[in-house]
Amino acid sequence: MRLTVGQVHRHVLALASSRSCLVLGDNLPLRMLSLPRAVRFHQTAWLGTETVQDKSASLTLASLEGQNKVEYGKKEKATRIGGPKPSSRASALKVKPKVSSFNSKPAKSTLPKSAVVKKTLKIDESLFSAKSFEELGLPPLLIDRLNKEGLSTPTEVQSAAIPIISQKHDAVIQSYTGSGKTLAYLLPILSEIGPLKRPTEQYGSDKRSGVEAVIVAPSRELGMQIVREVEKILGPNDKRLVQQLVGGANRSRQEEALKKNKPLIVVGTPGRISEISAGGKLHTHGCRFLVLDEVDQLLSFNYREDMHRILEHVGRKSGTSSRDILGPLARRSERQTILVSATIPFSVIRAARSWGHDPVLVRAMSVVPLESITVPRPVLSQPDANSNSPSNSVNQAAVDSLPPSLEHYYCISKAQHKVDTLRRCIHALEAQTVIAFMNNTKPLKDVVFKLEARGMKATELHGDLGKLARSTVLKKFKDGEFRVLVTNELSARGLDVPECDLVINLDLPTDSTHYAHRAGRTGRLGRKGTVVTICEETETFVVRKMRKQLAVPIKPCEFTEGKLLVHKEEDVE
């Protein structure tokens, strides 16, 4: 009996739907439902306990009414212009049946579709060996500032990147750690905005709409380092035009500085930039440049939500029309997206293709379209598969990130004697600026205490220190007040101490990529540097494995009588 009633109910409701007219109550306005919607509504009422929910909400008359208002708002306005609004069932039933708009194909827009124009890539290979910034086409005011700072000759990656970014191409910059990647994107940006820009327009003649460049860094140290680089180039009178928005600092003061100084360039960490943007204190819709420094770290799961908001709110992707963006955000500048990192795994290639428009890959002495780069996709590990194939791209990226002028050694020591081995290593190599890496935060203080007890000035740097304390430690270390900086993985990226001549691994890095980033703290900008790994006898196989993956000679050694003794290098299969 119940089945029969249900079938009759279905037929009646389907008949009513086929006439595209369903009247809900005597006093409710006319509602129109297509057949699929009517059937879903019927199923919801019939199943009872097994309710089919739309968008995690129960389908009620109120919600149904709200949905129909949205879907029929435009249609009702179009059909009722110049006529009375039907207010009763009688007037509604006189309406001639029409084909339901839900089943009809959407009409094609008569507006001209914006054609996506592919930018022409012009590569002048003669600039790869440029001897001065004048050859790269930088404005005179900017060149004068660089000369005052003692910067007259560009590095290889700067010679390749500056002309490409100046042509307004989206770019992925890859080069070994310490090769000058920061200036490679800062100089073309400062050529377009701020007081040192090209003399086509006088600074201040055009009305600034707000922030014109956003630079995102994964750590506070790297963010503050970028800020100092910009301030150094702008000079003391114009350093207010760059604003740091890093975590750990006072948010209220940062917001006040944004309102007071009206900076052109914002540098910060993803969380703080996203937080202030969500609070309505940071307006980046007119931003022209978006730079993601150490982008391989910004792609980690921890930054996913913050990065999504930044990418959605900073300008608009190149090659898209402003009509594609609805609501109050419709007026946006076309942004230029620049990704920077020492390693370029597949995830970075995929992100660049998604976030940019026809991006190009810039390396030292090389500029190629990113679409021409084939990177093996990550695959699930299989016992029978070739174990080298999934990690080839990661290992190659780590190799590319290593500075070329480094010497690599490893020394065997018992755990309780590692600090003494560290001290003997520093004396034997006569190193003056040393960074020692450990994997955990707790042992840092103990190592510093033992070094101080032996008359060697040392200090620690880790994430638990406040922003002011960390800045003070870094400044004193760079000024030479401390000889050894003991830190954890915090400083493996972005820490720029050009004077550093020795990196020591008191704990083994987790993989070859982390080894490369630690090693990159020395040998910066073409200087010579040394990397020494102190390990136990049982850990030597890890060193051999990294030596094979990185394809660099990590030589066994020991320190006796104040000298470095290198043993015969073992054969690497």
What are 342's two structure tokens?
Answer: 């020492």
Weakest mean pLDDT among 84-98, 204-218, 425-439: 84-98
Token pair recorded at residue 114? 């914006």
**pLDDT of the residue at 408:** 94
**Residue 380 Rama label (left phi>0; alpha psi -120 to 50; beta):** beta
Written as six digits, the tokens of 549 are 């993956």
For residue 384, what pLDDT band results from cuts at 50, 70 and 90? very low
How many angstroms separate the first and last alpha carbons of the chain? 80
User: What's the confidence (pLDDT) of residue 129?
Assistant: 81
pLDDT at 104: 40
- Residue 239 confidence (pLDDT) above 50: yes
Taking 90 as the threshold, does the pLDDT of residue 44 lie above it?
A: no
Nearest to 215, CA basis, from 141, 298, 280, 159? 298
| Residue 64, pLDDT above cutoff 50 | no
> Is the Cβ–Cβ distance between 531 and 503 less than 8 Å?
yes
- The answer to which of 128-137, 236-245, 260-269, 284-293 has the lowest mean pLDDT is 128-137
Cα–Cα distance measured from residue 50 to residue 62, given in angstroms and rounded to the nearest whole number = 20
**Alpha helix (H) residue ranges in 100-237:** 140-148, 156-166, 181-190, 220-234
Does 116 have pLDDT greater than 70?
A: no
Closest CA to 222 of 519, 499, 493: 493
What's the pLDDT tens digit per position in 434-481? 999 999 888 999 999 999 999 999 999 987 887 788 889 988 998 999
Pick the closest to residue 286 from 360, 202, 175, 206 (CA basis). Answer: 206
What percent of the chain has pLDDT above 90?
44
What are the beta bridge partners of residue 533? 410, 505
Work out the pLDDT band at 386, boundaries 50, 70, 90.
Answer: very low
Q: Which two tokens stand for residue 321?
A: 């029309």
Joined tokens for residue 449: 């205490």
| pTM strictly above 0.75 | no
Q: How far apart are CA 423 and CA 28, in angstroms?
A: 86
pLDDT score for 512: 86
Q: CB 53: neighbour CB atoms within 10 A?
A: 9
- Least confident segment among 80-89, 182-191, 325-334: 80-89
Contacts for 288 with CB less than 8 Å, ≥ 6 apart: 192, 193, 212, 213, 315, 333, 334, 335, 336
pLDDT tens, residue by residue, 293-320: 999 889 999 999 999 999 999 987 666 6
The Cα angle at residue 256 between residues 254 and 260, in degrees rounded to 5: 120
Q: What is the DSSP letter of 266?
A: E
| pLDDT higher than 80, residue 542 | yes
User: Mean pLDDT across the stretch 107-125?
Assistant: 57
pLDDT value of position 181: 92
How far apart are alpha carbons 268 and 266 in whole angstroms?
7
**3-state secondary structure labels for all residues of 118-135:** CCCCCCCHHHHHCCCHHH
Q: At what angle do helices 304-313 and 270-278 cross, to 10 degrees?
A: 60
The answer on pLDDT for 417 being more than 80 is yes
Longest dimension (CA), the chain: 107
Radius of gyration of the chain (CA): 31
For residue 101, name the pLDDT band (cuts at 50, 70, 90): very low
Residues in the chain: 573
Mean pLDDT of all residues belonging to the chain: 77
Give the position of tokens 């009414």. Answer: 65
Q: Of the ranges 89-98, 133-142, 534-543, 561-570, which one carries the lowest mean pLDDT score?
A: 89-98
Within 13 Å, how many C-alpha atoms sit on residue 572's CB side? 16
Is the per-residue pLDDT at 1 higher than 70? no
Question: pLDDT grade, residue 200 (50/70/90)?
Answer: low
Residue 373 in tokens:
């780069």
- 24 pLDDT more than 50: no
Which has the minimum average pLDDT: 196-200, 268-272, 337-341, 368-372?
Answer: 196-200
Supply the pLDDT for residue 345: 82
Alpha carbon distance 425, 420 (integer Å): 9
pLDDT-derived band at 569, boundaries 50, 70, 90: low
